[in-house]
Amino acid sequence: MIIFCEECGRRYRIDPTKIKSPHAKVRCKACGHVFDISKSDRMDGTGADSEWPGSGNDETPAAESIGTETVKAELASLNAQRSRRFGLRAKMIILFFLVPVILVVAAGLLYIRQLDQLTALITSESSQVVTHLAEDIIKEKAKSVASQVLLYLNSHRKLKKENFLQDEEFRKIAVQKVGVTGYTALYQLPDSGGVWRTWAHVNPKIIGIDMSKLKKPLGKAFPGFWKVFAGVKGGKESQGYYRWQDKDRKIRDKFMVCTPVGNTSFVIAATTYLDEFTKEVKGLEKKAGVISANTKKAVFVILGSTLVLIALIVLWYGHALTKRIKSLTLLAEQISLGALDEELEIRSKDEIGDLGEAIGRMQESIRLSMERLRRRR
């Protein structure tokens, strides 16, 4: 344990196990002053390395003087004990770095998820709306052409179906443009032999032929086409999609609406590629995807920069704060070991600076008290 001479303030370490009775007398090697000590006077729990030559109430044992190296050893022992504790810097990292990082990352991921969902919702809804509008346009076109054909046939009852294409005015009515590449055509319900025939079309080669013979040239596209084409039996309207191969061998989706022409045996078919109507929307979807991707990149950059900035601030401030606290702790430990001449330079003007000034005033007060005690002795 550590004791101080009441006369000169010299520090000594003695072994408390050598004190056989509650009190003992010690003689200071520096000034020769003899004073009483007890086991309750011990200042720390560290044992002494030196032997105490004697014990008892009336004995005056010699104590071992504590030098600078001994003080350093005591401080090292205390620091080793503290290093096992959960320090202020670790708490600051958890409270001011890990917790904000978790919250910021969670918020960023939630924002990105909501952005993806919003982008997908807007693009999908836009595409569906435009698709329905395009289908309605094609449907209205078929109905309009069917009405025009019915009016023309009622006013030209002598016009035979074999001469539909030779009648320039009728051809313009029956074969009209739909979209960019689409068109309308006129065909007839199956005759007594069950044969479906087309009488007005942009391709004169299929005029009057058995439409079921298109199965071979259409290939895989024929079943979908025929389902819509022949779906007007019973005088009902038919519509649907089918796959079609262009001249460039590219396969695309076509939409077709077949509308009966009044009480006649004729049917108007309006067909076109639907992507001609949705092309602009698809372009907007791509732009929205690019904007969404760039936004996510920007969010990740902002999140990363924020986390790095928070980490640097917490680590720098935590290091500076704990460094100042450690310096004040070291000064307090030195004062507790009797080093009353140590000085600490106070630079900060905050609460840590106030604490350092308070410790400095305490150090000066102890020094003055020791001086007054020596003068009284």
Look at 48-52, 288-292, 321-325, 358-362 and tell me which has the smallest mean pLDDT: 48-52
As given in the structure block, the two tokens for residue 374 are 């020596």
For residue 197, what pLDDT is reported?
94
Q: How confident is the model at residue 150 (pLDDT cuts 50, 70, 90)?
A: very high
Q: What share of the chain is helix, strand, coil (3-state, %, to 5)?
A: 55, 15, 30
**pLDDT per position as a tens digit, 114-134:** 877 777 777 777 778 888 888
Tokens of 334: 């030195």
Mean pLDDT, to the nearest integer, of 5-17? 69
Q: Which two tokens mark 332?
A: 């307090």
**pLDDT at position 115, please?**
78
Confidence of residue 258 (pLDDT cuts 50, 70, 90): very high
pLDDT at 41: 54
Q: Are 238 and 232 in contact (CB under 8 A)?
A: yes
pLDDT digits (tens, 9 = 90+) for 78-111: 555 555 555 666 777 777 777 777 888 888 888 8
Please give the DSSP secondary-structure letter assigned to residue 64.
E
DSSP string computed for 196-260 = -EEEE-S-GGGBTSBGGGGHHHHGGGHHHHHHHHTTTTTS--EEEEEEEE-TTS-EEEEEEEEEE
CB 342 within 8 A of CB 362: no
Adjacent-strand bridge partners of 11 = 4
d(CA 288, CA 285): 5
Name the residue with higher pLDDT: 303 or 58: 303
- The rounded radius of gyration (Å) of the Cα atoms in the chain is 50
Residue 54 has pLDDT above 50, yes or no: no
